[in-house]
Structure 1
């Protein structure tokens, strides 16, 4: 304890001495040589790091940090804030439009199964939502790129709908499979063109796109597990929820989740090549838990306060109900 206190005290005094020598290279060199001779170079490094965080941009402190290999990092900077109300609101709207386009049919890129409105419009719809979010962040001369790109996608969707909308042959299947990729490429072009070194930006966009897809898959899988568990816990007590609603839920999800996933892992305030590595899948798990918490609490309250008292004897009489109860507790 005494050693720790002495170390903390020395570190604090070094902070004061470093601050007193700000802008004086000779005095700072003498202080460093003295501390080094005393064997307290580690304390000097920590004090230097704290001074640099307190005085960002100080050239002398930065030179010393470079000399000693002090990793200041970005720990002192606030994490980029996401406009979550905007993201969630736009995602809900995109999901509703996607569900309306699907019209109760499977939300898949198959002209033989899906509504023509859906397989033609889903890719351009999601891409337009992404570009609207990016344009809201930039709010400058680059916004015209997103407007032109959205207009181009609208024309492509219109042409595809007119020429292939009522067909289910190979040409329609190819169009249904390629429209989402075309939409993704148009978003990338609108985002990356205009930045210095567009090839580097495009590569970063490609890498980040993979992370967005994985994040969206995690969101979708977790959401479907939640919906399946909700259906299951009601089914075992004889309450049948309409299975047709699952199609509407899936159609809503494939429209809403792409923007939500992109907003979770992509910082729209900086170019693709300057993205913060901290905003990865580890962060996604925390965000996912926060998003599902209100829904899970709502179902849990309804289940505990209403259905459990009514069907209290069910777990004692039917093993399936007991298993579902246990799985619900674990979830």
Structure 2
């Protein structure tokens, strides 16, 4: 029986028609046109006809909007590339700190968000004002390798990332679903940017080799005028594609979350067992404590990424139990790290680094407990998946607040 006959036989069976379509969409569409000619009175086939051949009569306005949206992205990408190139020039001259490179990317992404979702004036002024104040303040700090200044440099990107989130959320900045959408955007952005960056690296390698064949070394010129420009411009392109609901990143992200979570859990368990076996002590080894905190932040990032990609489905999967195990493990690591930091503070005294690390670990510790308790309620059917996501989204402002304190207050105190 060919597919034409199958469609006719199941003309009043939507479930079977859907199965045929999913098995081979192209063959189904081709056969459907023949079946539809003989069965115009079928309402089921009428719905399928609209699904397969739907044409939006308002497409002119949509195309105009897309062109306008694409044009705004293109202008911002060019501006981001130019500004980043100028900033890089001053960095190489050692006139400004390398952290200034974020001002060639973050403000432009925020501008794109604001342009497509214009917020109230007070929000707009807050975003613009804080970016301007950040740029001025960070460049008023002396170019010295002091702990407080280094900490300010490290926390400025986090503070700027929160500002981008405010621009993304607009008037709905208090909405948990909007914050969750921002976290999803970041995951999809990173995936898409990485894919395009790899393609860019291959193009760069090919270009270098082609010019080497004719005896020209253009590596310095190419890096300064193409690569740097491209790094910033590509960020705008990735932002545009993700916000235009590009299916590539959205389809890949959940699978990456499901693959990476168990791998991270297995790796972390092996690592912890190895640490105990060799007798490493984070209370005494400063470098080991730093690596411990790095692992903690990485685990928190992977867990949050996995939670945001899990959706609001109330059904529990193996991924939920893996996430819960990761959170418990991360909480144990954070508890050890907190003990080590308190020990070092009591033994070696106060320093900007120790206070910053203490603050970060306390923040993460509280957040992990909240997520863990929410997950326990979810796994016991006492709460829904939304409660777990709220434990992530509602806590984001605290990270931004702490990053702001470290960036703007610590250099003044220390």
- TM-score normalised by length of structure 1: 0.54
The 2-side partners of 1:114 and 1:14 are apart by 75
1:10 to partner: Cα distance: 5.5
Deviations 1:293-313 (A, max 9, x none): xxxxxxxxxxxxxxxxxxxxx
Structure 1 stretches lacking a partner, 5+ long: 19-43, 57-77, 107-112, 268-275, 284-331
The aligned counterpart of 1:87 is: 73
The aligned counterpart of 1:16 is: 41
- Of 6-15 and 177-186, more deviation after overlay is shown by 6-15
The 1-side partners of 2:193 and 2:115 are apart by 22
1:47 aligns with 2:46: yes
Q: 1:243 to 1:87 in 2, by over 3 A?
A: same
Deviations 1:49-68 (A, max 9, x none): 44688999xxxxxxxxxxxx
1:278 aligns with 2:247: yes
1:100 to partner: Cα distance: 0.6
1:211 to partner: Cα distance: 1.5
1:4 aligns with 2:4: yes
Q: Which of 74, 90, 106 is 1:127 aligned to?
A: 106
Structure label with greater radius of gyration? 1
The aligned counterpart of 2:175 is: 198
- Structure 2 contact 131–160 (Cα < 8 Å) conserved: yes
The 1-side partners of 2:241 and 2:98 are apart by 25
The aligned counterpart of 1:151 is: 129
The aligned counterpart of 1:137 is: 116
The 2-side partners of 1:235 and 1:117 are apart by 33
- Of 178-187 and 91-100, more deviation after overlay is shown by 178-187
The 1-side partners of 2:50 and 2:148 are apart by 65
1:172 to partner: Cα distance: 3.2
The 2-side partners of 1:99 and 1:263 are apart by 21
The 1-side partners of 2:220 and 2:50 are apart by 61
Q: 1:168 to 1:209 in 2, by over 3 A?
A: same
1:129 to partner: Cα distance: 1.0
Alignment of 1:1-331 (within 5 A): 4=4, 7=8, 11-12=36-37, 14-16=39-41, 18=43, 44=44, 46-50=45-49, 81=66, 83-103=69-89, 105=91, 116=96, 118-120=98-100, 122-139=101-118, 141-142=119-120, 144-164=122-142, 166-192=143-169, 194-195=171-172, 198-267=175-244, 276=245, 278=247, 280=249
The 1-side partners of 2:54 and 2:70 are apart by 31
The 1-side partners of 2:35 and 2:153 are apart by 68
1:96 to partner: Cα distance: 0.9
The 2-side partners of 1:175 and 1:131 are apart by 21
- TM-score normalised by length of structure 2: 0.45
1:233 to partner: Cα distance: 1.6
- Alignment length, in residue pairs? 219
The 2-side partners of 1:50 and 1:119 are apart by 55
- Structure 1 contact 104–248 (Cα < 8 Å) conserved: no
The 2-side partners of 1:97 and 1:241 are apart by 22
What is the RMSD computed on CA atoms of the aligned residues? 3.7
- Of 47-56 and 125-134, more deviation after overlay is shown by 47-56
The 2-side partners of 1:235 and 1:163 are apart by 43
Q: 1:234 to 1:50 in 2, by over 3 A?
A: same
- Structure 2 contact 77–236 (Cα < 8 Å) conserved: yes
